[in-house]
Structure 1
Amino acid sequence: MQLDHVLLRTFVACVDTMSFTRAAERVHRSPATISSQIARLEAEVGTLLFVRDTRNLALTRAGEQMEAHARRILRLHDEAVEAFRKPDVAGSIRIGAPEDYVANILPPVLRRFSLSFPKVEIKVVCAQSTVLVPQVRNGEIDLAVVTRSRGVEGQLLRREPMIWIASHDRVALERRPLPVALFEPGSQARHVVLAALTRSNIPFRAAYENVSQSALLTVVEAGLAVASVARMSAPPSVAHLTEADGLPAVDSVEIALIRSAGSNNRLGDEMADAICQRADAPL
């Protein structure tokens, strides 16, 4: 038995998207080709890897085992290729993101990029989106992953649901006016939260304002306020609230990649590609 890395890459794309159609878009093949490649892989290993119906895919137990092996094989394959393909590229690149995006999006991006370009210095700037946008426009940062607000273009990476969080004892929910921790003025997260509260007619007060992600989580964990954050940013140390808790639905936010004029080069393109691939995968 020999496992073709092309088939394994198609398999991983199907796992990440749970759709032959979306996987086809990712690997630039037709859905029919994707279906054929998965069938070839299943024939090679002698077992079904997916349970299929008319709308959904689900991994079989064998598929779950294959996923771990496939990702490890592809990682080693890509590391070997990159080590010999781009050994002499040097320079530096500056990338910015808010702290929750740094934690959830950037680690595999930075790892992949550093393996591909071991002689390139990567500088990471952690700041709120409202700070990063003008820095990119001024050329102080090459690329940034930000929450898109009015007047900010960039490449859409994903739409992220906003959820309410509170301490596990939910003590802040009992207070009126409702104490709410908010991000800085001008941020899109603050805008959608205030809009939702206004629509709901729930009496509230801005208990804590202009706080960083970590400070906001500390306030919530202490039971001093509730807050609404991007779903991927809500840790298990807080309660993830639902509509049953009486709080209004908050509009999703758009996460975008913005680039400076000076980033239109090979390093900028490679970093942008790594970020887009990561953002398209489940977080």
Structure 2
Amino acid sequence: MSRPLASLPNLDMDLARTFVAICESGNFSRAAELVHRTPSAVSLQVKKLEDMVGRALFRREPRAVVPTGDGEMLLGYARRLLRLNDEAMARFLVPQIEGRVSFGAPNDSGIFAIPGILKRFASTHPQVAVDVRLDYSAELRRRCAAGELDVAIVSCGEKPNSSSEEIYSEALVWVGLRNGRAAEQTPLPLALADPGCSWRGRALDALDSVGRDYRIAYSSELCQGQIAAVEADLAIAPLPASVLSPSLVRLNDPARLPPLGSYRVFMMKRDGAGPAADALAQHVSESFRDLADRQTRIFA
């Protein structure tokens, strides 16, 4: 006989927040830091939550804890509840900000980061209009320094200025189609971003350093164009490790495809940009921190 809805327990927001933190960080200790509790307190919260739902929510693996099937199902509910809770509380507790803010992001990493950032920001600051510009990092850096952008994220090898903040770093790798043949061709066919992209320059310098013969088979302003060429096995490309998938694999051939290192993402903010820009900058930092946590869990 099913339990009457009126007698069902309420899912505590603190338990839900801790549960999501564990799922996204992959371990209790890191989750404890994220929710500002001790690891033992987090363990007690998990036991309470598992007792409440009557299911095991995690399984222990050698280097991480991962949600069970029931845990994955609860994760979706918990995220939705937390988003709704945070949206409701922000509407009443966060000072209402109105106006317009200009935001710049690179053609490469910006494509992946922007949707989450804008969705997050719109939920807490619905009265702020955001003007988005996608461009090369060098141009975004110039525009922000000139006061033409309020907030910008740029991908470069060194800190753009003393006030900028490093918000993300990730391995740049050679990517090819699983069981593809493009990497064996001579000259090596490449799918690259247009001139001006730091990834392009790094890839060409690496190949030149080992004397590898190559040709630029495809150029694209957006990295989706590079990915499309790789998926068709028409070329290989230098791309972030986060694009790897069952069909797109990392090519490990150090002698012929030298390592590309990591790329770094910095956030710049115009001096005196105002509260809307400050709020957007906070969302940018939080979104990239979440992205870094997910990548750490995936590649651990």
Shorter-chain TM-score tier: 0.7 to 0.9
Partners of 1:99 and 1:235 in 2: how far apart? 21
User: 1:278: which partner in 2?
Assistant: 287
| TM-score (ref. length: structure 2) | 0.80
| TM-score (ref. length: structure 1) | 0.84
User: 1:142: which partner in 2?
Assistant: 150
1:178-217 aligned at under 5 Å gives the runs: 178-185=188-195, 187-207=197-217, 211-217=221-227
User: 2:133: which partner in 1?
Assistant: 125
User: 1:51: which partner in 2?
Assistant: 59
Aligned length: 281
* Residues 1:32 and 2:40 aligned together: yes
- Cα offset for 1:202? 2.4
**Range moving further from structure 2, 105-114 or 20-29:** 20-29
- Cα offset for 1:274? 1.6
Partners of 1:199 and 1:105 in 2: how far apart? 32
Query: CA offsets per residue over residues 28-50 of structure 1, 9 Å max, x none?
Result: 33333333322332232233211
User: 1:227: which partner in 2?
Assistant: 237
Of 238, 245, 254, 2:264 maps to 254
Partners of 2:117 and 2:208 in 1: how far apart? 38
Partners of 1:242 and 1:180 in 2: how far apart? 13
Q: Structure 1 stretches of 5 or more lacking a match?
A: none
Q: Identity across aligned pairs (percent)?
A: 32
CA contact (8 A) 2:219 2:225 kept: no
Of 69, 86, 103, 1:78 maps to 86
Partners of 1:137 and 1:98 in 2: how far apart? 16
- Cα offset for 1:73? 0.9
SS at match of 2:84: helix
* Residues 1:158 and 2:168 aligned together: yes
CA contact (8 A) 1:96 1:132 kept: yes
- Cα offset for 1:54? 6.4
Q: Indicate how the Cα distance of structure 1 residues 60 and 258 shifts in structure 2: closer, same or farther if over 3 A, else same.
A: same
**Range moving further from structure 2, 161-170 or 86-95:** 161-170
Partners of 2:233 and 2:251 in 1: how far apart? 17
SS at match of 1:262: coil
User: 1:173: which partner in 2?
Assistant: 183
Q: Indicate how the Cα distance of structure 1 residues 101 and 210 shifts in structure 2: closer, same or farther if over 3 A, else same.
A: closer
Q: Indicate how the Cα distance of structure 1 residues 210 and 149 shifts in structure 2: closer, same or farther if over 3 A, else same.
A: farther
- The one-letter code sitting in structure 2 at the alignment partner of 1:202 is R
- Cα offset for 1:95? 1.1
Q: Structure 2 stretches of 5 or more lacking a match?
A: 1-8, 296-300
